[in-house]
Chains A and B, each alone.
Chain A
Amino acid sequence: MTDQRPIHSAVLVKQVPDTHNVTGEVMTKDGTMNRGALPAIFNPEDLNALEMALDIKERTGGTVTVITMGPPKAANILRDCLFRGADRVILLTDRKFAGADTLATSYVLQCAVQKAGPFDLVLCGRQAIDGDTAQVGPQTAEKLGIPQITYAETIIEITSTHVTAERALDSGSEIVRCTMPVLLTVVSSANTPRPASVRRQMERKLAAVPSEYAAIRAQWPEFESDEALDAFLTKRGLKIPVWTAEDIGATEGSIGLAGSPTQVHKVNFVVLESTESKTIAPTAEAIKAMIAELVHEYIVG
């Protein structure tokens, strides 16, 4: 494109419990869940969104800013973003954010994107594996007052004003062209996320939020005080900014539990109905008898 200009992207990411790998140790004897036993991971499709943003930046120039809302330990995935090539990362953390449903979450993200921006593109994963709702992307777009392209798989063209993208749908695909700014939600088939670069890992390994300073100083005693470490990190652009509800100007009634129209009425542990069942030995005779029974009941023709 002759009229190409730098494209500035925001990527919204989430740290999630690894619900895909629920193992025996995670379930307690009474059928409840030991959440602490689940490792926290980078939501997989958010990595695809980051990769798409980094790829666009390589084609057009510009910047990639990553924003996450979560507890202080979500700084882990922000460091990962820095290692993979993000220019800037921001952690949104505040006790007041707790208990947010997708509507309250999208409001916080809207406030943060508006404070950190302006951006040409806002990208996020199609959905997070801990809820699979796919709601936060479109809700954030609506609050930002910008259009949305969900299920984005390929960026076909990007100009100074428009983006053309292919959407991957269950029933086929669709090519759409839209003005910027626009929010895209990215599917896992979009790309293969690049790994962290070793060079950046070396350069940025100390990147931290202030609540991690004590742990860093335990490992690097040459920093005599939190202030000294803070000055060191700030100078090198390695201090990960932490924004609270107040910092982003979020209205209290719209965040956290109070800002969430959905309420959990009750939670039932899954009680499996015991069906009349037979144990079949994995032998030819036993299986033959089982098939005969199914034939007799007209289950198998």
Chain B
Amino acid sequence: MSEKQSIWVFIEHTDGVIADVSLELTGKARELGDQLGFEVVGLLCGHEVDPLAQDVIAHGADRVLLADHEELALYRTLPYARVAIEEARKRKPEIFLIGGTPNGRDFAPRVASALRCGLTADCTDLQIGDYYVKKEDKTYKDLLFQIRPAFGGNLIATIVNPHTRPQMATVREGVMRKPAADAARVGVVEKIAPVFEPGDLVLQVLSRQVRKSTIKLKDAPVIVAGGAGVETADEFALLRELANLLGGEVGASRAAVDAGLIDRAHQVGQTGTTVRPRLYIAAGISGAIQHRAGMDQSSKIIAINTDPNAPMFQIAHYRIVGDVGEVLPLIIKTLRERSMDQREAE
């Protein structure tokens, strides 16, 4: 067992492929680990997943704890949590990062509750810093600053856990950047042999259907996104038309998803997908911080809104005060005319 303090990352995988978010977090853990002098450990549970361990190391881990057991073949809360809880009790990691996927959000609170430690959901940034507690007149050094929008997104809160370990946080896919794999990186693969109790195995997975996502928001070069200001299906169709013209994807704010105008898979923001396209067109999106947290790294932002005070205008490069139903057709017409001019020129 290693004596060195450690940062853990929960490694999720499906059909022999590690989830991007787990590798993104391995990269972030490497950064934090270098800053603190901690070891980065990937917790990999599964069955016959040995080949994945090197991938975790290649993305920045020093060590992979590999729990291989047939009861771990598919993700299930209790067997996976059993491994994490027992190993964490033994090895006492300082920090434990988990992807904000449905299963990550199922796993993390279960583990945090058993370890009686703090957990912060959907962080948009993680930093290391010192925290002074006045009541104790004591400064806690090198805590994990878990930064997330709070209370409807009008505030950004920095959460700390001075007294409990590990300091646990979930982060959505795309928030951290995935590091380049370094196949030459060397690390230790440590096998652990989990022992389950009958109570861990009371839930059976009868079937699992994986829907291949047809939309690839995260990697789209252009995103045309609609919000509450897009009121009808016809106006939403304009977003699709414009996205197709620009070779991009349609995105949405939570308001549009909640209104049933578009599937949740299109949602951009803290609780959706984080994107960094070349061009982001925000149509009728007021710009709550949760939404902005998911798109403010876009190279260029065009905001269209009837409300001149919409917060989105403050981060936009191009501000168009106007109605989505009028402005979008103008942009579409201009682009169509351009492509016709080009064709004529050829």
Q: What is the bound-complex CA distance between A133 and B333, given in angstroms?
A: 43
The answer to the question of B155 belonging to the interface, with a C-beta cut-off of 8 Å to chain A, is: yes
Q: Complex Cα distance A107/B152, Å?
A: 25
In whole Å, how far is B334's beta carbon from the nearest beta carbon of chain A?
Answer: 5
Assuming A142-B114, A261-B163, is B317 touching A277 (CB within 8 A)? yes
- Whether a CB of chain B sits under 8 angstroms from the CB of A125 is no
Shortest beta-carbon distance from A241 to chain B in Å = 26
B46: shortest Cβ distance to chain A, in Å?
16
Q: Are B207 and A174 in contact (CB under 8 A)?
A: yes
7 tightest Cβ-Cβ pairs between the two chains A and B: A19-B152, A282-B322, A261-B118, A272-B314, A142-B113, A262-B118, A138-B109
A103 touching B116, Cβ below 8 Å:
yes
Q: Mark A254-292, 1 if CB is under 8 A from B, else 0.
A: 000000111111111110111111111111100110110
Question: In the assembled complex, which residues on chain A have CB atoms less than 8 Å from the CB atom of B222?
Answer: 300
Cβ–Cβ contact B208 & A172, under 8 A:
yes
Query: What's the count of A-B pairs with C-beta under 8 Å?
Result: 242
CB pair A141 B110 closer than 8 Å? yes
B105 CB-CB contact with A under 8 Å: yes
Q: Which residues of the other chain, B, contact A276 by a CB distance below 8 angstroms?
A: 317
Binding site for B on A (CB under 8 A): 17, 19-20, 22, 24, 26-27, 31-33, 35, 38, 101-103, 106, 130-139, 141-143, 147-151, 164, 167, 169-179, 182, 260-270, 272-284, 287-288, 290-291, 294-295, 297, 299-301
Q: Which chain B residues (148-168) contact chain A, with CB distance < 8 Å? A: 149-164
Which of chain B's residues have a CB closer than 8 A to the CB of A164? 206
Distance in angstroms from A107 CB to nearest chain B CB is 9
The reply to whether A287 and B152 form a contact with Cβ atoms under 8 Å apart is no
Alpha-carbon separation in the docked complex, A124 to B331 (Å)? 45
Does the CB pair B258–A265 fall under 8 Å?
Answer: no
Most chain A CB within 10 A, of B146, B202, B213, B255, is at B202
- The reply to whether the CB of B72 lies closer than 8 angstroms to some CB of chain A is no
The interface bits of chain B over 123-157 (1 if a CB of A lies within 8 angstroms of the residue's CB, else 0) are: 00000010100000000000001100111111111
Within 8 Å CB of B323, what residues of A? 282
The answer to whether B51 has its CB under 8 Å from any CB of chain A is no
Decide: A133 near B154, CB < 8 A? Known: A261-B164, A262-B159.
no
Which secondary structure characterizes the binding site on chain B?
A: mixed
Are the CB atoms of B158 and A143 closer together than 8 Å? no
* Tally of contact residues, B, Cβ under 8 A: 92
A261 pairs with B203, CB closer than 8 A = no
Cβ-defined contact, B265 with A170, below 8 A? yes
Q: Is the CB of B321 within 8 A of A282?
A: yes
Closest CB of chain B to A163's CB: distance in Å?
10
Residues on the A chain within 8 Å of B330, using CB: 282-284, 287
Most chain A CB neighbours (cut-off 10 Å) among B109, B116, B288: B109
Question: For the complex, is B189 an interface residue (Cβ under 8 Å from A)?
Answer: no
> Known contacts A263-B162, A264-B158, A291-B338; is A279 also within 8 Å of B321 by CB?
yes
Residue of A nearest to B76 (CB): A176
Residue of A nearest to B277 (CB): A299
B244 at the interface (CB under 8 A from A): no
Chain A proximity mask over B234-248: 1 for CB below 8 Å, otherwise 0 = 000000000000110
B300 touches A299 (CB 8 A): yes
CB-based contact B300/A173 at 8 Å: no
Most B CB atoms within 10 A — which of A26, A32, A102, A270?
A270
> Is the C-beta of B315 less than 8 angstroms from some C-beta in chain A?
yes
Docked pose: A268 CA to B148 CA in angstroms: 10
**Which residue of the partner chain B has the closest CB to A273?**
B315
B327 within 8 A of partner (CB): yes
Q: Is the CB of B318 within 8 A of A278?
A: yes
Residues of B within 8 A of A167 (CB): 102
- Minimum CB–CB distance from B31 to chain A (whole Å) comes to 20
Residues of A within 8 A of B279 (CB): 294, 299-300
Determine whether the beta carbon of A301 is less than 8 Å from that of B247.
yes
For the complex, what is the distance from the CA of A143 to the CA of B112, rounded to whole Å? 11
Interfacial chain B residues near A132, Cβ < 8 Å: 121-122, 270-271
B33 to A: closest C-beta gap in Å: 22
Mark out the residues of chain B between 278 and 334 whose CB falls within 8 Å of any chain A CB in the assembled complex: 278-279, 288-289, 299-302, 309, 311, 313-323, 326-327, 330-331, 333-334
Additional pairs, 16, CB under 8 Å, beyond known A175-B205, A265-B129, A282-B320 = A20-B258, A27-B154, A135-B108, A141-B110, A142-B110, A150-B102, A164-B206, A174-B205, A260-B118, A262-B118, A270-B149, A278-B317, A279-B319, A279-B320, A281-B320, A290-B318
